[in-house]
């Protein structure tokens, strides 16, 4: 049983939707599943762009065989060597023994690391920036995109129709459910944008400079369609939307002037102070605030929120004379993913020797272009100064409106 759909007259989508996988990279929750996108170009020569995860192999090869319609496969182009896209390379060579593999130097280095596959020289083409491959009427050129988000990543550009195949860039968590194109989806809806942002922030977010470099290359290309390896295909009229978001995210510019709060509370006292602060902010007209309990919320969701909101509030208890473990983990991931250019405020709690405020500030100040708003507020068990909380709310409000 195959499930394929034409992208254009000569390009067929042969990817697979996976709703059974619980965690992407065994780390990030997939409430809406994920797609492993792959594309077959049918010209005088045929070319398959990337494969799929090994778990969906039967469906993938049923799709490829249906799209080929009895033709042989001439080229396999590998844009990205992560196993959810490269896992079936060895099987491709078993099924299509005459296929020629196209990749860059780092692609072939990684193939030797993942597979015990001897590819004859006559069946490998090593490409560099701007080099071309003719399939007949179509000319493909190759754009190097190192560290977006692996070092071997490249894009393939179909010059004939202005189609850019972008590896993991511009991907989105979630299944398309047959709606292959963004024009068939409510892609401006909150849940879609949340999944796009969560994908970028956690997968690509550390590599803002490299993403900016690729966006500059894209400005010099005539692009009518973007075909990523996850999520829907971006048609021309929708491309400015995702390019604008990627430009903001990769410059670490917040999408919204808004507040996101991250707290832990062992017995509920810190949470109560957070609730009081949010009521004060709400009464001052601050809208679209989000509050997250670090003990309950997946870290990928919170990192995504840090790419959305301009103002971050951290409320943490002192725990074993240090930070609460889940809060410490969040801060560690912030460092790893290069969160920066944000305003922040601190609430600390401790019964006899509060330390969390100092530890929060040390970590946040070690990040790039982070600025504290107001003074850190200290809670002693369940006791705090209401005037100090009101002052902090005023400072946050003034900063948001500045």
Q: Are 174 and 195 in contact (CB under 8 A)?
A: yes
Q: What is the pLDDT of residues 132-182, one digit of tens each?
A: 999 999 999 999 999 999 999 999 999 999 999 999 999 999 999 999 999
% the chain with pLDDT above 90: 98
State the DSSP string of 112-180: HHH------GGGEEE--TT-EEE-SS-EEEEEE-TTSSSTT-EEEEETTTTEEE-TTTT--SS--TT--
Q: Rounded to an integer, what distance in angstroms lies between the CA atom of residue 381 and that of residue 231?
A: 46
pLDDT value at residue 202: 97
Q: What is the dihedral sign for C-alpha 82, 84, 86, 91?
A: positive
Q: What is the pLDDT of residues 354-364, one digit of tens each?
A: 999 999 999 99
Amino acid 121: pLDDT = 95
Tokens encoding 133: 């491959």
197: left (phi over 0), alpha (psi -120 to 50) or beta: alpha
pLDDT tens-digit map of 85-103: 999 999 999 999 999 999 9
User: Which range among 115-119, 242-246, 381-385 has the greatest average pLDDT?
Assistant: 242-246
pLDDT number for residue 57: 97
| Gap between the Cα atoms of 34 and 37, Å rounded | 9
pLDDT of the residue at 265: 97
DSSP 11: E
Average pLDDT over residues 264-274: 96
Which of 182, 181, 196 has the alpha carbon at shortest distance from 32? 196
Q: What is the pLDDT of residue 273?
A: 97
Residue 347, phi then psi, degrees to nearest 5: -120, 130
For 142, left (φ over 0), alpha (ψ -120 to 50), or beta? Answer: beta
Exposure string (b/e) for 255-264, b if CB count within 10 Å is 16 or more? Answer: eebbbbbbbb
- Which band of pLDDT confidence, cut at 50, 70 and 90, is reported for residue 4? very high
Q: Rounded to whole angstroms, how far apart are CA atoms 245 and 257?
A: 15
Q: What is the pLDDT of residue 293?
A: 98
DSSP states of 197-230 as a string?
HHHIIIIITT-HHHHHHHHHHHHTS--SEEE-SS
Please give the mean pLDDT across all residues of the chain. Answer: 97
The domains located in the chain, with CATH, are 5-250 (3.60.15.10), 256-401 (3.40.50.360)
Residue 233 DSSP class: B
- 357 to each of 81, 281, 315, 373, how far by Cα in Å? 42, 21, 8, 13
Instruction: State the pLDDT at residue 217.
Output: 95
* Helix, coil or strand: residue 311: strand
**pLDDT by residue (tens digit) across 32-62?**
999 999 999 999 999 999 999 999 999 999 9
Give 184-187 contacts, CB < 8 A, sequence gap 24+.
Answer: 184/232, 185/232, 187/232, 187/238, 187/241
The residue among 212, 221, 211 whose CA lies nearest residue 167 is 211
Return the sign of the alpha-carbon dihedral for residues 42, 46, 49, 51. Answer: positive
Cα distance between residue 77 and residue 144, in whole Å: 13
CA 255 to chain centre: 15
pLDDT band for position 306 (cuts 50, 70, 90): very high
Pairing of strands 163-165, 154-158: antiparallel
Is residue 34 within 8 Å of 89, Cβ to Cβ?
Answer: no
**Separation CA 191–CA 177 (nearest Å):** 15
Pairing, β 309-319 against β 343-349 = parallel
Average pLDDT of 109-115? 96
Contact 377, 348 (CB under 8 A): yes
């Amino acid at each position: 049983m195959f499930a394929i759909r034409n992208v254009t007259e000569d390009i067929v989508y042969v990817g697979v939707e996976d709703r059974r996988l619980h965690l992407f990279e065994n780390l990030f929750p997939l409430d809406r599943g994920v797609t492993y996108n792959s594309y077959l170009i049918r010209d005088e020569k045929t070319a398959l762009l990337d494969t799929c995860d090994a778990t969906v192999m039967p469906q993938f090869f049923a799709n490829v065989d249906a799209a080929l319609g009895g033709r042989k496969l001439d080229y396999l182009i590998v844009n990205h060597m992560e196993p959810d896209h490269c896992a079936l390379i060895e099987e491709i060579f078993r099924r299509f023994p005459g296929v020629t593999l196209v990749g860059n130097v780092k692609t072939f280095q990684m193939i030797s690391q993942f597979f015990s596959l001897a590819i004859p020289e006559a069946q490998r083409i090593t490409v560099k920036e701007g080099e071309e491959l003719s399939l007949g009427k179509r000319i493909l050129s190759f754009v190097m995109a190192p560290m977006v988000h692996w070092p071997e990543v490249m894009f393939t550009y179909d010059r004939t129709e202005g189609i850019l195949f972008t590896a993991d860039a511009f991907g989105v968590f979630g299944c398309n459910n047959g709606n292959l194109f963004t024009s068939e989806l409510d892609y401006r809806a909150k849940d879609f944008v949340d999944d796009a942002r969560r994908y970028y922030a956690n997968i690509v977010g550390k590599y803002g400079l490299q993403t900016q470099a690729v966006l500059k290359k894209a400005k010099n290309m005539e692009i009518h369609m973007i075909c990523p390896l996850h999520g829907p295909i971006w048609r021309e009229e929708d491309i400015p939307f995702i390019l604008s978001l990627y430009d903001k995210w990769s410059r670490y510019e917040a999408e919204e002037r808004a507040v996101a709060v991250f707290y832990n509370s062992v017995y509920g006292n810190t949470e109560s102070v957070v609730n009081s602060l949010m009521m004060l902010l709400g009464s001052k007209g601050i809208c679209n605030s989000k509050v997250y309990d670090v003990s309950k919320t997946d870290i990928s969701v919170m990192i995504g929120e840090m790419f959305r909101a301009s103002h971050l509030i951290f409320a943490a208890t002192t725990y074993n004379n240090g930070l609460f473990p889940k809060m410490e983990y969040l801060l560690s991931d912030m460092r790893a993913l290069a969160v920066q250019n944000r305003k922040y405020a601190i609430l600390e709690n401790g019964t006899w020797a509060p330390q969390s405020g100092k530890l929060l500030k040390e970590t946040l100040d070690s990040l790039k272009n982070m600025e504290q708003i107001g003074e850190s507020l200290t809670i002693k068990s369940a006791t705090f100064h209401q005037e100090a909380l009101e002052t902090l709310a005023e400072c946050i409000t003034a900063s948001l409106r500045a």
